[in-house]
Chain A
């Protein structure tokens, strides 16, 4: 009986020790700092399209290295709200530029981070993009963009979203800076 009790006590002590070790070790903890992103600017424009981009910093503030397996922007502009443009968006690491909308998995050591570039292209369904985006502004339509990212670290993979809003004011400011939007009276 004493042996059995001893074995149980040793097993409990070992389990607690392992649990404490894991708790102390922690894990990766990612944050996309959407509230500190840069303002969208126009990077390309044609009669039918306008392309905007901004930079969003991210950080692994956890105690372990972590891997961003995949990340992409999910723009949300339903036609019920605004039906004059088609939207495309993509995201890339500032340190690994590519235009294929493929996010190469990357290890982010603990305490470090990086920057992603979010690119959004509006294409006018009819007419020109300048008028379409002016209408978007007149209707006061803001477009949410979720940065969706898949993380794997010490724990099983998970997907998080960080939401930012691409406001119509911001779009209008960017178009004005480019000299292609109607100015407010």
Chain B
């Protein structure tokens, strides 16, 4: 009986000279079957899209210098460059508004409001050290058109589905984009133990083997009940 299996696939370090779908085809095609879901690390998708910036290239505004001070220091937005990158992507007044509302929300015990209001980039930006060399000295933005990338992977590889995921060792998994028919929350749950590993640039692809078979079996069991 087919069981879910997570199979990480190693690649060389990918850069903006690479096409992520071409690379998945090159390194993982032979391991991918019609019942499988291909997941790929969002930071690597972003890197292949050239969504990388050096701190030295930012023009930091006064507001970024102030607002970063109110983010706990483990977060990517706690540096002036993380905050500035968010302001560049989402607009500084939106970020200010989100910060003020987020602070009031926190006072009444509701966490995460800032990240809900500040735009999708807020949760996806990786500050320096967030990725492996040679990108460890850069900020990496979230990927563009993650759903479209997932659809393209599915179409090219003939798999059951594909997803772009942001997973870390702190038991945080977020599916940023997925092909149609996949449940992002279910995928996030499957990936929660970070099968990409610490150095997700080395193994940026994880094949979720037998996903469709297991899903069909579960549905059959439910329908029998």
Contacts and interface: CB of A to CB of B under 8 A. Distances in A.
A21 B79 CA distance: 16
Given A156-B80, A157-B55, A70 B129 contact: no
A18 B66 contact: yes
Interface in B35-79: 55-56, 60, 65-66, 68-69, 73-74, 78-79
Interface residues of B, number: 20
Nearest to A63: B73
B198 to A, nearest CB: 13
Which of A65, A104, A157 has the largest number of chain B CB atoms within 10 A?
A: A157
Interface string B67-104: 01100011000111100000000000000000000000
A154 B66 CA distance: 9
Name the residue among B74, B81, B129, B134 with the largest chain A CB count within 10 angstroms.
B129
B79 A105 contact: no
B100 to A, nearest CB: 11
A155 interface: yes
A153 B128 contact: no
Contacts of A22: 66, 69
A65 B136 CA distance: 17
Nearest to A25: B69
A180 interface: no
B136 A105 contact: yes
Chain A: interface size category: 20 to 34
Interface string A46-75: 000000000000000000110101100000
Contacts of B55: 69, 152, 156-157
Given A102-B133, A105-B129, A157-B55, 14 more contacts: A22-B69, A25-B69, A64-B73, A65-B74, A67-B129, A69-B137, A105-B137, A107-B129, A152-B128, A154-B68, A154-B69, A154-B73, A156-B60, A156-B65
14 contacts: A22-B69, A67-B79, A69-B128, A69-B137, A102-B134, A107-B129, A152-B80, A152-B128, A153-B79, A154-B80, A156-B60, A156-B81, A157-B56, A157-B81
Interface of B: 55-56, 60, 65-66, 68-69, 73-74, 78-81, 127-129, 133-134, 136-137
